[in-house]
Amino acid sequence: MDLPEEHPNLLRPGHSACAGCGLLITMKLVLQAMGPRTIVVVVPSCEAGSAGVYPNTCFAVPSFHSAFEIAAPTAAGISNALKIQGRTDIQALAFGGDGGTFDIGLSALSGVTKNNDDIIYVCLDNEGYMNTGIQVSSATPSFAWTGTTPAGNPGRKKHIMDIIAAHYNPYSATATIGFPRDLQRKITKAKGIRGTKFIHTLTPCPTGWRMPFDLSPDVSRLAVETNIFPLYEVEDGVRYTINHEPRRLPVEEYLFLQGRFKHLKKEEIQRIQKDADAEWDKLQYKAHRSTVNST
């Protein structure tokens, strides 16, 4: 069996990310599954901040540091140019942070997804503007501490997967480093599909989440097992498949490991639990409906 984890590592040593960075591990797993016939687009964020200062870089494939809000149209421009040149064996891969995806780049990503340009877009979601030093984004979860929400985030995390699914793009999926084979399988699958593929990855950030540096994989697994971040795929915006049956652990097990939630009151935790339960019910319904419709 061909396992992506046995492929060459295309993230070279020497990046400048924080110790235990979940985002860098995600990039490594993604690039390993993508292989060398890939052009990478990064934009201002932790991914570009840690990619190196001239003349050093950690990318072993051609890469381009584009502007903040345009990861998607940059990758689409590359992809269309490659098509014009007949070099269709090369794939354009865009990495966007949660700020670049949920906030400032949402309109550009929507435009590309609507046009179904042939790119793989990987959102590296560390739930805040971490590269500028931990500020709230619309991917920051309810009540979380950030530098600009010192009393806790009053808003709720934007449902980016639902937004992308509303474009009826051929393939979207969630993934996280705690489930590396699932993540690499999804990248491999996306490579085989033409059109806009969107992968939403949860990338634990020890610095911004206020937790010990060795906890990223554990926290990643707990995000899935508590239903904070379920693993699933969406095809054509309508067919939902749940990839992992969670243990449905209480959300506290995820929250209590992170300093950004240490101030939470009982009712706030209850609220997070209620939201996670409701989202899970909704997802199960969609997955069930997909099964019924396909039979």
Partner 1 sequence: MCKVLPEKCGCDEGAVMKEFMTGNHAIAHAVKLCRTPLIAAYPITPQTPIYEKLSEWEASGVLKGIMMRTESEHSAMASCIAGSLTGVRTFTATSSQGLALMHEMLHFASGCRVPVVMANVNRILAAPWGFWADQTDSLSQRDTGWIQIYAENGQEALDTVIQAYKIAETVYLPTMVVIEAFFVSHFMETIDLPDQDAVDRFLPPLDLPHRFDMDKPGYLIPVVTQEWYREYKHRAFLAMDSVKEIAVKVDREYREEFGRGYGIIEPFMFDDAEVVLVTAGSITSTARVAIKSLREDGYKVGLLKIRLFRPFPYEAVRGALFGKKKAGVIDRNISIGSGGIFCQELRGALSGMSSNPLIYSYIAGIGGTDVDVEIIRKVAFDVMKRTEPHDEAIWVKEDF
* Residues that bind partner 1 in the complex, under the rule CB under 8 A: 36-37, 39, 41, 48-49, 51-55, 57, 59-67, 69-70, 72-78, 80-85, 90, 107-108, 110-112, 114-115, 117
Instruction: Give least dist CB 37 to partner 1, A.
Output: 7
Residue with tokens 């590592």: 9
Task: Name the pairing type of β-strands 239-242 and 196-202.
Answer: unpaired
Handedness of CA 152, 155, 156, 157 (dihedral sign): negative
Instruction: Give least dist CB 111 to partner 1, A.
Output: 3
CB atoms within 10 A of CB 254: 25
CB atoms within 10 A of CB 37: 11
Judged by CB, which is closer to partner 1: 39, or 160? Answer: 39
Q: What is the DSSP letter of 61?
A: S
Residue 266's identity, in one-letter code, is K
Instruction: Give least dist CB 25 to partner 1, A.
Output: 20
Judged by CB, which is closer to partner 1: 100, or 230? Answer: 100
Judged by CB, which is closer to partner 1: 92, or 202? Answer: 92
Judged by CB, which is closer to partner 1: 23, or 224? Answer: 23
Residues 6+ apart with CB under 8 A from 170: 116, 193, 194, 195, 196, 197, 235, 236
Instruction: Give least dist CB 61 to partner 1, A.
Output: 5
Judged by CB, which is closer to partner 1: 120, or 177? Answer: 120
Instruction: Give least dist CB 255 to partner 1, A.
Output: 35
Judged by CB, which is closer to partner 1: 66, or 153? Answer: 66
Instruction: Give least dist CB 70 to partner 1, A.
Output: 4
Task: Name the pairing type of β-strands 239-242 and 232-235.
Answer: antiparallel
CA distance 279 to 261: 20
Mutual angle of helices 71-84 and 106-115, in 10-degree steps? 30
Instruction: Give least dist CB 129 to partner 1, A.
Output: 17
Residue 23's identity, in one-letter code, is L
- Torsion angle in degrees (nearest 10) through CA of 58, 174, 133, 107: 100
Judged by CB, which is closer to partner 1: 85, or 295? Answer: 85
